[in-house]
Structure 1
Amino acid sequence: MPDSRSMKNNLTAIDFFCCGGGMTEGFESTGIRVLAGIDIDPACKETYEKNHPNSKFILKDIKKLPSNHFKNKFDVEKNDDGLIMIGCSPCQHWSKINTERGKSEKSKNLLLDFTRFVRYYKPGYIVIENVPGIESKPEESGLKRFLNFLDKHGYKYKKQKIDMSKYGVPQKRVRFVLIATRNGSDPLFPENLKKCKTLKDYIKKLPQINAGEKSNDLPLHRSASISENNLKRLQKTPHNGGTRLAWKDDPDLQINAYKDKDNIFKDVYGRMKWEEPAPTITTRFNSISNGRFGHPEQDRALSLLEGALLQTFSEKYYFSGNTDSVVARQIGNAVPPIFASQIAVKIAEHYQMVK
């Protein structure tokens, strides 16, 4: 049987919509070389390059990137059985929590733009990760046309809506995932784990900080400032899972928008629980008014480092950004590296099996 390490050396990947490099991090951790990461967001450039010096960051709108770019710049061949194309396009337009669909209109058909490169190169493997909403409206999102392309060109694929908390990610992050191959048999898919990781497993050990403070030893362990009223709200919210209902009858603290609306938006201003996975880490996880992002015990929202750890980045992963909101966006938009590594392992196993 071929050596598994040599098999991985024959696999290369291109990470479209790479953001800060979550997919790249997961794939590189298994020994698969990522040739390039492509993203339109200039804020991601330094983050990606600092963490992945052996991969080329391409700051470009893929709508304007020629199909033959990778052939010309990286000698990527068409019909390469060992080539993996990863497409984790921005998903705001198809997210159920999106309230600004106008702003996300331009990005709603990025899957079709990605398909142009898949059609040109016909790689051995394709990976898609997105919000479940992409599947609920397959014609509008381009998923139907993408699946038709796969069928027409002999790709076999598995697609699932998964909760990443069942795959070693300490958050209830539900995503649509597709793995496709034209290399022989059906692709392999990561298996569920029997036990979920929890908040306590990942952030309990971090030093205590107050709202608006940062750790001297861990620069990314910094928390956003909060108003005096929000501090009072958190102080009245029970530890380890409390909600805003604890102060709904306090006229000085109750928020007009939530009066007599106890059954909607129940997570906002709430605290997380140590013994459970976190809620989905969004691009605004560092604000208590944008979800259940209150620390289980401390009177503050999650720090940037806590969000990164719950996304399964290491403590040493470097994030660049001129504001904390820019950093939070990179963290929240990322594919958790630990899940990406599981996909990479399964692709390597499949490649070894069919070669």
Structure 2
Amino acid sequence: MAPTFIDLFAGAGLFSAGMMRAGFNPVLAIDLDREAVASYCRNVSPCAVRGSVTDATAVPKADVLIAGPPCQGFSTLGRRDPTDIRNDLSLAILPWIEAASPSLVVVENVPPFLRSAQWRRLARRLGSLGFRIQTWELEAFEFGTPQLRRRAFTVASRIGTVPRPQAGSLRISAGDALFAPIVPDDPMHRWPTPAGIAAERIVLVPPNGDKRDIMRDRPDLCPPSWARVGCQATDVWGRINPSEPANTLRCTFQNPSKGRYLHPFENRCLSLREGARLQGVPDSWIFEGKNYPVARQIGNGVPIPLATAVAVSLAQVFSQHRDLVDKAA
């Protein structure tokens, strides 16, 4: 029988997809975002429900529990506000662990989470529940994702040491992902049409260029803030280098003012399909919602190749210690 798992803060199910590739079977996924839940049910499994992780009622038993609590309060891309109320949501998984009684728990977040007060509280409680704690910081590009995206994994085990995933030899550039043929009329191959000043700026950006090219050639199109920050935030209004991995894909990847998200050659930002490809999402997936809700689902996910590498390591220890799992059940 395939080992089972619960996915908390599941989003559209990218982490779950990696778990399933390694042989795990989802029994429940939960998220507050209605459209993300619909995407999960459409592309991953019909087990997803809309709800709050703070409500740990009717929790099924599962062999593994995975969770990706909000990272905004810890991310270096944000304000890193220690009072952000979302930070404590990482602790909301504890009642689920007590109820589901999993043998393995994996909490995914940004690396600064591992140095937070919330992580220390979580680790102490997991230890009191009989888990041994490991932490990994993994670079998604080293596991076959065409994107630089460093993520932290807290791995808690009651059954043995989980082997750290080993980086593979496969390296995929952004161009490898973006330039593969797209099926005609793919409903995910859509992007906001640039207009006005935005359109004028984009045509000025050469291959591998960014806002500095606009500042040089058309200073009248540049706000005073660009001059004030100087050489900071140079990736904004930047084109992706097709020979390299893309920068970390944020939820705002269809807004060129938020990062290096312009198509390498065409005068537009990335399409939703192209953004999904940078997360290792198959072209068969169709996300539910309008542009920004879909971009949020894509940008919030764990790249599927990275999720798969983590899940394979879980499967190894699970297979080696199946007798302990059966005894605990």
2:270 corresponds, among 278, 302, 310, to 302
Q: How far 1:101 moved relative to its partner?
A: 5.5
Do 2:2 and 2:23's aligned partners in 1 also have CA atoms closer than 8 Å? no
Counterpart of 1:129?
108
Structure 1 consecutive aligned stretches of length 4 or more whose deviation exceeds 4 Å: 99-102
TM-score (norm 1): 0.85
Do 2:16 and 2:26's aligned partners in 1 also have CA atoms closer than 8 Å? yes
Do 1:86 and 1:127's aligned partners in 2 also have CA atoms closer than 8 Å? yes
Is 1:70 aligned to residue 72 of structure 2?
A: no
Distance across 2 between alignment mates of 1:316 and 1:112: 35
What secondary structure, in the 3-state scheme, does the structure 2 residue paired with 1:280 have?
Answer: coil
Do 1:171 and 1:279's aligned partners in 2 also have CA atoms closer than 8 Å? yes
2:292 corresponds, among 322, 325, 328, to 325
Q: How far 1:180 moved relative to its partner?
A: 1.9
Is 1:21 aligned to residue 13 of structure 2?
A: yes
Counterpart of 1:152?
128
Q: How far 1:229 moved relative to its partner?
A: 2.1
What secondary structure, in the 3-state scheme, does the structure 2 residue paired with 1:38 have?
Answer: strand
1:90 corresponds, among 70, 75, 90, to 70
Do 1:158 and 1:189's aligned partners in 2 also have CA atoms closer than 8 Å? no
Distance across 1 between alignment mates of 2:108 and 2:243: 27
Percent of counterpart pairs with the same letter?
26
Within-5 A mapping of 1:242-253:
242-249=209-216, 250-253=218-221
What secondary structure, in the 3-state scheme, does the structure 2 residue paired with 1:347 have?
Answer: helix
Counterpart of 2:201?
233
Counterpart of 1:112?
91
Counterpart of 1:349?
316
Q: How far 1:195 moved relative to its partner?
A: 4.7
Distance across 2 between alignment mates of 1:192 and 1:345: 12
Q: How far 1:159 moved relative to its partner?
A: 0.6
Q: Unaligned 5+ residue runs, structure 1? A: 1-8, 208-214
Do 2:23 and 2:315's aligned partners in 1 also have CA atoms closer than 8 Å? no
Q: How far 1:303 moved relative to its partner?
A: 0.6
Q: Which moved more, 1:334-343 or 1:266-275?
A: 334-343
Deviations 1:204-238, CA, capped at 9 Å, x for gaps: 1246xxxxxxx852110112121232222222212
Q: How far 1:252 moved relative to its partner?
A: 2.2
- Amino acid of the residue matched to residue 40 of structure 1? L
Deviations 1:265-289, CA, capped at 9 Å, x for gaps: 1111011101111111110111111
Distance across 1 between alignment mates of 2:80 and 2:74: 11
Counterpart of 1:169?
145
What secondary structure, in the 3-state scheme, does the structure 1 residue paired with 2:221 have?
Answer: coil
Distance across 1 between alignment mates of 2:232 and 2:106: 35
Q: How far 1:172 moved relative to its partner?
A: 0.8
Do 2:147 and 2:248's aligned partners in 1 also have CA atoms closer than 8 Å? yes
Deviations 1:1-21, CA, capped at 9 Å, x for gaps: xxxxxxxx3410000000001
Counterpart of 1:6?
none
Counterpart of 1:210?
none
Do the aligned partners of residues 96 and 312 (structure 1) sit closer, same or farther apart at CA in structure 2, a change above 3 Å counting? same
Is 1:186 aligned to residue 143 of structure 2?
A: no
- Amino acid of the residue matched to residue 264 of structure 1? Q
Distance across 2 between alignment mates of 1:62 and 1:352: 29
1:40 corresponds, among 14, 32, 38, to 32
TM-score (norm 2): 0.91
Counterpart of 1:4?
none
Distance across 2 between alignment mates of 1:194 and 1:262: 38
Do 2:59 and 2:99's aligned partners in 1 also have CA atoms closer than 8 Å? no
Q: How far 1:152 moved relative to its partner?
A: 2.6
What secondary structure, in the 3-state scheme, does the structure 2 residue paired with 1:334 have?
Answer: coil
Deviations 1:22-63, CA, capped at 9 Å, x for gaps: 11111122321111110011121211111134x411211121
Counterpart of 2:119?
143
1:56 corresponds, among 47, 56, 64, to 47
What value does the CA root-mean-square deviation take over the aligned residues?
Answer: 2.0
Do 1:85 and 1:123's aligned partners in 2 also have CA atoms closer than 8 Å? yes
- Amino acid of the residue matched to residue 25 of structure 1? A
Is 1:261 aligned to residue 229 of structure 2?
A: yes
Distance across 2 between alignment mates of 1:333 and 1:124: 26
- Amino acid of the residue matched to residue 132 of structure 2? K
Do 1:156 and 1:187's aligned partners in 2 also have CA atoms closer than 8 Å? no
Q: Unaligned 5+ residue runs, structure 2? A: 323-329
Counterpart of 1:30?
22
